Structure 1
Amino acid sequence: MSNGIRAGKKFDDEVLAERARNLATRNLNGIERVFVNLLPAAAPTDAWLDLEFHTTHILAAILTAIGGGTTPHSIFPVSGGVRLRGGAAAGQVRVVQVIAGAAPNQLRLQINPIGDYSTYTLAVNFAGIDPLLAEIDFKFRPACFNLNCAADESFSAPVATPYIDYLAKDFDSFKHTLITAMQQRVPDWLPTSEVDMDQVLIDLIAADADELSDYQDRTVNEAFLATARKRVSLARHARLMDYHIHQGNQASSWLAVQVQTAINIPARTGAWTSEHWQDKTSQAFITKKLLVSNPLLNALQLYNWGGSLTALDAGCTSADIALPAPLNPASETDANNLRDLVNSIRSRPFLIQQHLNPETGTALGKDPGARQILQLTGTAQTLFDPMGGVAGEWFVRIFWRDADRLARRYCFCTQCNTALPLYNVSLFHGNLVEISHGRPHRTIFRAPNTPLAVSTPYNFLYGDEAHIELTPCGAVAKLPHTSLAYLATEPDGVTPARTSLTVSVNGFATPWREQSDLIESTNDAQHFIVETDEYRSSYIRFGNGKNGRNLPVDTFITCDYQTGVGIDGNVGADTVIGFDDAALPQLIRIWNPFDITDGREPESVAEIIRRVPEAYRARQLRAVTLEDYALRAEQLKEVAHAHASYAWTGSWRTVRIAIDPFGTEILTEPVRKKIAAHLEAVRLIGEDLEIRPARYVPLDIYLKVCAHPDFWPEHLRRELELEFSNGYTADGRGGFFHPDNWTFGQPLFRSQLIGRALQVPGVGRVLLASIKRLHGESGASLSTITIPASAVDHPVVEQLIVRPFEIIQVANNPSKLETGRLNFEITGGRQ
């Protein structure tokens, strides 16, 4: 007896049983089992199969069809067998008679001839039979053998495979392997000459295999940071460590302009370092922004108060400006117009520059370093000099930031061998605009198989077109020009690199945004990324519709960018002098006042491999310790020093951060809010932040010095007050008690006072020094120390110690003695 499942298929028995129970509801039937009987038992000549069905449906119809002339083997085909095959032909194993069975759901089938010992398949080919239950496997002698009859197929021994050296990796080893294989396959073949066709083919195959092997090795090496050589692979490895490799950056500086009339110089206006930009040695620059220029700001002279004012000393933060031609100094209206013009450029830099040598009155020997950028405060005033000119003169007084105080003395008027004094030794200039290195390009990318326009390589703005490459990961646009210029970023691994690219799609004014990656970009985000390889070729990659927006069909992309190697733009001062006088005939002259030095080369492969594994150590994303809070606050340029401490407020722990502002002792509210926002990103849960100013410790200092006989005591006192001030000295150095020289918990050594005093010209000896807190009850204090004359040159170790959250303060302001004071007693000197 055999089950009702055809061999070779596996079904769930429970599901089949449920299917069989539901046959009657669909008026269907199917084979349930079969019994094989060989008759007569002693010497059987026929086989009778008792075929049982699940239901009685259509069994009568089958008998009627056979009685009507349908052959039994067409309704009940038999297949299978090895020696005796089942089939419909005469002599094959087939059904020859069908009669009703003993039960209503049975049919009795006669088969002749009797088959062999193999497995046969009986099927029912009649309407109303479930296809899944229409077949059944059976054997004529199921108990005789466990195996089928011997198979007719015969197999041969496997062919011996040739020896292959799987360690072959280069040309010579591949060539040796091929020669060995040829000798195995062609026993009479021998390598005779290099010019034989066989040997030539072997050499060609070995060369290709060598290149493929090298490609495999290089590809595998890109999977690891330590062995990767391609810059794109290194950049992607670095991103896994939150490190952004530095791609170099373009050089940038300020460009001074003199114009004939008031004009607007548009952004991306060209300037270069030679007479023509096509020169091989010329370096191209373009302006970053629109410049609204005015001829009144070409060159502004200092108002000299009738020749009495000749120079501005170091540390100065204001100047009086004379009205330039064609303005009338006697007109208050003209003075107000100049004042309003100067106030309108407060967001632009203001230049002071020495043009002549004060000693000779000529350009020869002028100091090229006597130049400084000033940031105006926008509070210029109009003033009147009643003694100026015939009936008085108007002038404009300008002010600039304390941070931009003059670093040196600037001479404006000199009289050498000329009969009249020269008043243009130094000048102010107000027409300044920022420039960046790199030739401008505009590339339009179009869909594949789209005609392209002719390029314009002979224009300063290089225009061309190229095709977009469509990939499953998104569109890719390869820039046809190498050395894409990157914007200036710090090579710290934290700041993502940004290119000079401006990308717009289908002519829309809103440009797409450059990202470091598209991982967090939504499906409609107009983002793109830029990857630059070791050959300085750059690829623009767009989104795929999931990470970043996919490009529309038949789109075109407009890319404006600059090309140039970063360090090539590092040129000296007064070298950017060329411009297109045909496009801007109103320009008189341009020049770069300062050396351009901020162009950088890309980060080298060795530096990337060395820095990336340790990048996480330098970037603290959570303030776990008090030092973390202090270091985080000191990252801001407005903070010189910071000190953090814990305090318990009754409910939870509070971190108190004391701030020492940069360049001042006053913590303003905008700076405090900026620090709080900067620290909030790293604050631990359960800790509050309290930003407070530092606690300053005012000191009372007394110095008794002996002056040199050649120096007046009054003059020496002034020099000592400047040297120990909290501001700047005449030569631009920070005073001894400048706020940035002192930090939290920093003690004051007596030797520091003595050493700084002896540096002042005219001080012969320090006779006595007294250091103490202005308010002695607020902390430890030093008593007055009398220094013998013989002990001044020996090391002195006494010090005034302050607490970790305190900072020494000596402002020496007579109006605010509570901020510390200095008292000098000078003996000797010139009498």
Structure 2
Amino acid sequence: MNAANDGVSLGAVGCAPLPRCSVPARRERLHRAGTLNGIDYVEVGDDGVSLCVHLFGAIPPGLGVAHVRVSGGDRITGLRALSVNVEDEPDLHDEACLRVVLDREGDHTAYCLCLVDASSGNDPASWLAYPGFDPRYACASLQFRLDCAKSYDCATAPSCVSPAPALAEINYLARDYQSFRQLLLDRIALDMPAWQERHVPDLGIALIETLAYTADHLSYFQDAVATEAYLGTARRRISVRRHARLVDYRMHEGCNARALVTLASTNDLSLELDNLLLLVPPPNQHDAQSGVIDATRLEAARAHGALLFEPMRLDGVTRFAVVAAHSAIRLHTWGDEMCCLPRGSTRTTLVDAPWPPAPTATPRETTAANDAAEEAAPSRVLKLAVGDLLIFEEVLGPQTGNPADADPAHRHAVRLTDVQTSVDPLDGTLVLEIGWDACDALPFDLCLSVRTPSPECAWLHDVSVARGNVLLVDHGEHLRGQCMSTAICAPDGRDGDYPGLTAALAALPDACPRCEALAEDCWLVPGTVQYGCCRCEGAVQDVGRPPTDTGHVLPGAPLTWAEPLPLHAPVCELLARDPRGALPQLSVYGGRLDAVLVDGTPDPRWQWQARCDLLESGPDDRHFVVEIDDDGAAHLRFGDGVLGQQPQAGDFFRAAPRIGNGGAGNVGRDSIVWLALKSGLLAAELQPRNPLPASGGTDPETLAEVKMYAPGAFRATPLRAIVADDYAMFAAQSPQVQGAAAALEWSGSWYAADVVLDPLACESLPPGLARTIRAQLQRVRRIGHDVEVRAACYVPLQVELFVCVLPDFLRAHVEAELLDRFTAGLRRDGLPGFFHPDRLRLGAPVFVSALLAEAQAITGVAHVEVTTLTRVDGGHSGEVPDDGVLHLAAREIARADNDPDHPDHGSIAFMLGGGR
């Protein structure tokens, strides 16, 4: 069987297939089946250029140079096959092999040899397996040279490590007695964990409360002299907001929380998104069961404080299709065991079959099942498409197989960017190849199959599954408003406070029933009638209807604030929140009574748009601003005819606000378990749940925060580079740069800003990053200055240490730990090594004391001496700075990669004594 026979694309081949598995069970199945061929292993000859490729089956007679591809390498790349011959001499090998002669020998890094179809191009991503070869074993990795120490094993598998825990944060926004007291207690708990005394008579508690009282007194004294005239002394929230805006600071009102909810169903159905509500049960219902609730239970839940979420429209989709097979989806391991989806993965394979899976069969039963499958071919049940959301979830404990032991932190959401149907050629399993954005890369190792500890030693499959039917929901609900337009239902026959109302009601006789049927908040703009100065006989009267008050206070609190959803964005961008970019979630229509008081949604030309302010609004722009007072009530402020259009007296307005905001929506995982319809009934059985906690909910910014940050807001964002340090500061603002230095060089006619960059997580400046930084600096450069962006000068070091090992420790173990500590990559515990690029900064010197401290921290080390610390260029062995500091220039960065293929990148050597 091959890809050309069944018409299904098996994808490109390579030496790093996903998922990464520890038990190659597929290899044994290929040996037994005998239907597919593949590379078993590759031997490298003593001459370094001849390879002996062993296959699972017989060597195809048509294999030639055109079918051999070699990729990989660091210093030596582009290896080519010169000849391919079949070698079947029994005195040299136990079995026949394919002798491949290369044009040259590779370096120390790993290479990948593949037997591909002759039509494959030169790009490794386009290589296809040789006809009749298994795509998982069409390639094999090999190394031409081994350069590891003979005293310890160098073939260690990379460990699955977790990032170091973040340090505890201190709340620097404490402003009153309680917050200061809690801040001090939190600090004491970190510095003195054993001290847990909380009784008031305790001397420590007395001192803490004295300090908290003093801090509170000082804070109150600063605010006690406040007035509304200045930002630093204002007390009202709206006043502070307007003062802060004058100094270019946007005070935010928080934003609502977002969550991902999965819908488990036994049958397929289609739902209208605008008719759905997702609920967190009230606090008093701890044993709430997941499912659908009716209208009666919905009203009772509202009354008892349930949190409500509404689905969001991704890319404008209004209906959501629930597929029963998406409730739980198996991840395909290609028949291997001890598998995991490694951290950083952006692709995987799903089993296109219903859940739960069929029980594991014996080889005899498998043969019978394959015969039965030929008679009745299975059909595909998955209906995933590009843009769908998917959640990977660990459902079984890897050690025990108990669902209660599953790690809830091993849950991750992605948004699909690639979906392709495929078939496992070994057993005919229908699979689905999916991919997602690199921004949604898996942040941990996801376990797929394990073996339980002894004495059971049983294979445990489907440790993790994928969940489909995922909805993006956010906190908040559209509630019914209140009609404040009593003049429509009880007109006095005179226009009075609402000019033109009598004529408008005459043109719309059923205005009162329509107003009472509205589910939105509605009101009329009061005003007066003003006549122009020309009143002579026969002249046209100049009549105006200026409003006396255009403001309005919305009922209900808190008003929902949220940012608009980006189009075709991955999950990382959908859940990333910026409260300063959030806008109030309400739709406002206002204008003539007959045009706005209509059934359904009025014409879009009568809609008013929410803005953060009206400073950039023109006299014809239908914009308004929402301002929140100290009680949380929302005040609508419209334009004055110059900055924003001004409503006219007698205009009718209707608004549909949404209630629900702040950190209250940040509910925990598995909290959103109820589903309800706003109208109608749902006969299907649905079980909603949020595998991941809701996030992004932010409380409104406090007045203390605004007063702290607003005065320096206009200084915090410089707009022009004047001196050399300004160029370095602007360049370092890029998230891909961890350091920058600059100098103004005189070219003979003008100055040029020479900027050097220290890129993050690498030691070479990517050309694309250099162009991006140069374009950013062009916008802020001073007139008359040129800008040049270059990579930093990396200084290779020669480091030698003499290490004395304690008598009870093996020197090989200590040497392995030293190499791990002083690596230029990540250590086995996930922390960066001593010479990692992220730990070496521009101009940072190298201290002898730091080298001694790093080596001395290793268990088993008795004594350390630095025998050599110098530059590779110009230094010599045995040279150490007299002051113990190897100084570097401002544009230089130290490096010691200890790479045998690149000795010019620096090296570190250890001479060990003692031990055993």
Indicate whether the TM-score tops 0.5. Answer: yes
SS at match of 1:602: coil
Provide the C-alpha distance between the structure 1 equivalents of 2:681 and 2:903, rounded to a whole number of angstroms: 62
User: Which one of the candidate residues 278, 282, 307 is aligned to 2:306?
Assistant: 282
Within-5 A mapping of 1:238-253: 238-253=244-259
**1:3-33 deviation line (CA, Å, top 9, x unaligned):** xxxxxxxxxxxxxxxxxxxxxxxxxxxxxxx
User: Which one of the candidate residues 328, 338, 344 is aligned to 1:309?
Assistant: 338
Instruction: Name the CA shift for 1:689/1:298 in 2 (closer, same or farther; >3 Å).
Output: farther
Residue number in structure 1 paired with 2:58: none
Q: Is the 8 A contact 1:447 1:555 kept in 2?
A: no
Query: Displacement of 1:689 after TM fit?
Result: 3.0
Provide the C-alpha distance between the structure 2 equivalents of 1:828 and 1:268, rounded to a whole number of angstroms: 76
Letter of the 2:478 counterpart: P
User: Which one of the candidate residues 415, 435, 440 is aligned to 2:452?
Assistant: 415
Within-5 A mapping of 1:343-492: 344-345=386-387, 351-373=391-413, 378=418, 384=424, 386=426, 389=427, 396=433, 401=438, 404=441, 406-407=443-444, 410=447, 412-415=449-452, 421-429=459-467, 432-441=470-479, 449-450=487-488, 463-470=519-526, 472=547, 475-487=550-562
Residue number in structure 1 paired with 2:758: 660
Query: Displacement of 1:233 after TM fit?
Result: 1.1
What TM-score, normalized to structure 1?
Answer: 0.59
Letter of the 1:306 counterpart: G
Tell me whether 1:694 sits opposite 2:792 in the alignment: yes
**1:546-576 deviation line (CA, Å, top 9, x unaligned):** 2223447876556454322412122222212
Within-5 A mapping of 1:113-132: none
**1:407-456 deviation line (CA, Å, top 9, x unaligned):** 45746434368785332322344554543222234769998844567999
SS at match of 1:740: coil
**1:719-742 deviation line (CA, Å, top 9, x unaligned):** 665554454445543444443333
Residue number in structure 2 paired with 1:272: 279
SS at match of 2:725: helix
Letter of the 1:309 counterpart: M
Within-5 A mapping of 1:227-242: 227-242=233-248
Provide the C-alpha distance between the structure 2 equivalents of 1:295 and 1:713, rounded to a whole number of angstroms: 59
Unaligned runs of 5+ in 1: 1-217, 788-795
Residue number in structure 2 paired with 1:534: 630
Query: Displacement of 1:810 after TM fit?
Result: 4.7
User: Which one of the candidate residues 222, 225, 237 is aligned to 2:231?
Assistant: 225
Instruction: Name the CA shift for 1:465/1:339 in 2 (closer, same or farther; >3 Å).
Output: closer
Residue number in structure 2 paired with 1:623: 721
**1:17-65 deviation line (CA, Å, top 9, x unaligned):** xxxxxxxxxxxxxxxxxxxxxxxxxxxxxxxxxxxxxxxxxxxxxxxxx
Instruction: Name the CA shift for 1:515/1:364 in 2 (closer, same or farther; >3 Å).
Output: same
Provide the C-alpha distance between the structure 2 equivalents of 1:724 and 1:399, rounded to a whole number of angstroms: 35
**1:168-220 deviation line (CA, Å, top 9, x unaligned):** xxxxxxxxxxxxxxxxxxxxxxxxxxxxxxxxxxxxxxxxxxxxxxxxxx9x9
**1:436-483 deviation line (CA, Å, top 9, x unaligned):** 2222347699988445679999xxxx9423204356488434322221
Q: Is the 8 A contact 2:800 2:869 kept in 1?
A: yes
Letter of the 2:553 counterpart: K
Query: Displacement of 1:673 after TM fit?
Result: 5.1
Instruction: Name the CA shift for 1:764/1:487 in 2 (closer, same or farther; >3 Å).
Output: farther
Query: Displacement of 1:515 after TM fit?
Result: 2.6
**1:572-624 deviation line (CA, Å, top 9, x unaligned):** 22212222277776774433333445433323333333443343443333333
Residue number in structure 2 paired with 1:500: 585
Instruction: Name the CA shift for 1:226/1:306 in 2 (closer, same or farther; >3 Å).
Output: closer
- Say which structure, 1 or 2, has more relative contact order (CA 8 Å, 6+ apart): 2
SS at match of 1:741: coil
Provide the C-alpha distance between the structure 2 equivalents of 1:751 and 1:304, rounded to a whole number of angstroms: 49
**1:786-826 deviation line (CA, Å, top 9, x unaligned):** 99xxxxxxxx9734332212333455556666555555677
Query: Displacement of 1:373 after TM fit?
Result: 4.7
Provide the C-alpha distance between the structure 2 equivalents of 1:431 and 1:480, rounded to a whole number of angstroms: 35
Residue number in structure 2 paired with 1:568: 664
Query: Displacement of 1:537 after TM fit?
Result: 1.0
Q: Is the 8 A contact 1:268 1:289 kept in 2?
A: no
Within-5 A mapping of 1:9-158: none
Q: How many residues align?
A: 589
Letter of the 2:313 counterpart: K
Residue number in structure 1 paired with 2:893: 807
Deviates more, 1:230-239 or 1:407-416: 407-416
Q: Percent identity?
A: 28
Letter of the 1:640 counterpart: Q
**1:626-658 deviation line (CA, Å, top 9, x unaligned):** 333333333333333232222234432222333
Larger radius of gyration: 1
Q: Is the 8 A contact 1:339 1:382 kept in 2?
A: no
Letter of the 2:894 counterpart: I
Q: Is the 8 A contact 1:258 1:589 kept in 2?
A: yes
Instruction: Name the CA shift for 1:254/1:494 in 2 (closer, same or farther; >3 Å).
Output: closer
Unaligned runs of 5+ in 2: 1-223, 282-287, 289-297, 359-369, 490-511, 528-546, 565-574, 591-595, 597-601
Instruction: Name the CA shift for 1:237/1:713 in 2 (closer, same or farther; >3 Å).
Output: same
Query: Displacement of 1:404 after TM fit?
Result: 3.9
Provide the C-alpha distance between the structure 2 equivalents of 1:421 and 1:374, rounded to a whole number of angstroms: 28
Residue number in structure 1 paired with 2:846: 748
Letter of the 2:559 counterpart: L
Provide the C-alpha distance between the structure 1 equivalents of 2:513 and 2:402, rounded to a whole number of angstroms: 54
Deviates more, 1:374-383 or 1:811-820: 374-383
Q: Is the 8 A contact 1:244 1:496 kept in 2?
A: no
Letter of the 1:521 counterpart: S
Provide the C-alpha distance between the structure 1 equivalents of 2:258 and 2:631, rounded to a whole number of angstroms: 24
Tell me whether 1:321 sits opposite 2:349 in the alignment: yes
Q: Is the 8 A contact 1:377 1:399 kept in 2?
A: yes
Residue number in structure 2 paired with 1:590: 688
Deviates more, 1:414-423 or 1:241-250: 414-423
SS at match of 2:551: strand
Provide the C-alpha distance between the structure 2 equivalents of 1:261 and 1:712, rounded to a whole number of angstroms: 63
Residue number in structure 1 paired with 2:698: 600
Instruction: Name the CA shift for 1:655/1:586 in 2 (closer, same or farther; >3 Å).
Output: farther
Letter of the 1:484 counterpart: L
Provide the C-alpha distance between the structure 1 equivalents of 2:405 and 2:578, rounded to a whole number of angstroms: 43
Instruction: Name the CA shift for 1:255/1:414 in 2 (closer, same or farther; >3 Å).
Output: farther
CA RMSD in angstroms comes to 5.0
Provide the C-alpha distance between the structure 1 equivalents of 2:724 and 2:378, rounded to a whole number of angstroms: 56
Letter of the 2:452 counterpart: Q
Query: Displacement of 1:394 after TM fit?
Result: 6.0
Provide the C-alpha distance between the structure 1 equivalents of 2:415 and 2:862, rounded to a whole number of angstroms: 41
SS at match of 2:450: coil
Provide the C-alpha distance between the structure 2 equivalents of 1:295 and 1:818, rounded to a whole number of angstroms: 59
Letter of the 1:423 counterpart: H
Instruction: Name the CA shift for 1:251/1:316 in 2 (closer, same or farther; >3 Å).
Output: closer
Letter of the 2:280 counterpart: T
Query: Displacement of 1:709 after TM fit?
Result: 8.9
Letter of the 1:323 counterpart: V
SS at match of 1:278: helix
Q: Is the 8 A contact 1:242 1:494 kept in 2?
A: no
